[in-house]
Amino acid sequence: MAPAADREGYWGPTTSTLDWCEENYAVTWYIAEFWNTVSNLIMIIPPIFGAIQSVRDGLEKRYIASYLALTVVGMGSWCFHMTLKYEMQLLDELPMIYSCCIFVYCMFECFKMKNSVNYHLLFILVLFSLIVTTVYLKVKEPIFHQVMYGMLVFTLVLRSIYIVTWVYPWLRGLGYTSLGIFLMGFLLWNIDNIFCDSLRNFRKKVPPIIGVATQFHAWWHILTGLGSYLHILFSLYTRTLYLKYRPKVKFLFGIWPVILFEPLRKH
């Protein structure tokens, strides 16, 4: 976490329970943590296009919700890191819980009839979200949120491993790429927290372009944003395979992955 001595800017004193390692208002007076803010674009823009494509393809609403939930997380994180206000922190952290619950629902409903609804699972996930929200608003302890978020991610990891091990082994590349990128982000998140003082001292001694590369919380956003996006593709690929569509991963401009498919033609 960041040392206590940080300058103030447009948004006034920090009220959030967390202040990350990036130097506050170092780039512009209007954004508290500039790189931690703009790095959220990867979680905002691509999922919007994913949601639009899902609507056009007539996909089940839960996949549209998955894309939009990731966008909401990115927007909340943008507001949090831009202001370092407690209310904006909640706008970042609580949607992380809600989006993961949507991901969990999608992953456990991959092998059901089209447009079916699992009300029991829905009830459990909504209840879980309400309990986490209520407790977190009461205790205001970031570690509680991190543990609850970690439980959901662990559930997704186990389900993904089951699918690529026992159901669709040929999806290992996509599934493990999503997981590996996410874990790399988690590693950098921890390095940023544990070695913050050393990173700040290092940034004072090197050219700005090198210093930017050591903004590891921003890298956490980029890698977990990409990892989460790939997880949605993995979930969607699994679902459309089960529905006997013909999913294919294509790369827009040769770099950005999207999923395209067509229903299996009847002869």
- pLDDT digit string, tens, across residues 24-58: 999 999 999 999 999 999 999 999 999 999 999 88
Report pLDDT for 256: 87
Least confident of 15-19, 52-56, 165-169, 256-260: 256-260
Report pLDDT for 4: 43
Report pLDDT for 267: 42
Percent of the chain with pLDDT over 90: 84
In a 10 Å sphere around its CB, with 0-12 CB exposed, 13-18 middle and 19+ buried, how is residue 250 labelled? exposed
The DSSP line for 142-209 is HHHHHHHHHHHHHHHHHHHHHIIIII-GGGHHHHHHHHHHHHHHHHHHHHHHHTHHHHHHHHHHS-HH
Region 234-253: mean pLDDT is 89
Six-digit token pair at 191?
């390095």
Does pLDDT of 1 surpass 90? Answer: no
Range among 1-10, 54-63, 78-87 with highest mean pLDDT value = 78-87
CA angle 265, 259, 263 (to 5 degrees): 10
Six-digit token pair at 101?
């619950």
The pTM is what? 0.93
Give the separation between CA 188 and CA 210, rounded to whole angstroms.
16
Region 65-70: mean pLDDT is 98
Domains of the chain are 34-262 (1.20.1070)
Does pLDDT of 251 surpass 90? Answer: no
Q: Which helix (H) or strand (E) holds 252?
A: strand 248-252
The answer to whether the annotation marks 231 as part of a ligand binding site is no
Give the separation between CA 47 and CA 38, rounded to whole angstroms.
16
Average pLDDT, the chain: 93
Six-digit token pair at 48?
């919007």
Torsion angle (degrees, nearest 10) of CA 67, 71, 74, 78: 180
Predicted confidence band of residue 6 (pLDDT cuts 50, 70, 90): low
Give the separation between CA 14 and CA 156, rounded to whole angstroms.
34
The answer to whether the annotation marks 24 as part of a ligand binding site is yes
**Which pLDDT tens digit goes with each residue over 197-235?**
999 999 999 998 999 999 999 999 999 999 999 999 999
The DSSP line for 9-49 is -TT-S--SS---SSPTTSSBTTBSSHHHHHTTHHHHHHHHH
Report pLDDT for 67: 98
Give the separation between CA 132 and CA 149, rounded to whole angstroms.
10
Cβ-contact 180, 163 below 8 angstroms: no
Give the separation between CA 118 and CA 244, rounded to whole angstroms.
21
CA angle 202, 208, 209 (to 5 degrees): 110
Does pLDDT of 89 surpass 70? Answer: yes
Give the separation between CA 260 and CA 63, rounded to whole angstroms.
14
**Which pLDDT tens digit goes with each residue over 115-161?**
899 999 999 999 999 999 999 999 999 999 999 999 999 999 999 99
Report pLDDT for 265: 52
CA angle 134, 159, 232 (to 5 degrees): 80
Give the separation between CA 188 and CA 201, rounded to whole angstroms.
17
Six-digit token pair at 52?
């639009």
pLDDT: is 2 or 46 the higher one? 46
Predicted confidence band of residue 263 (pLDDT cuts 50, 70, 90): low
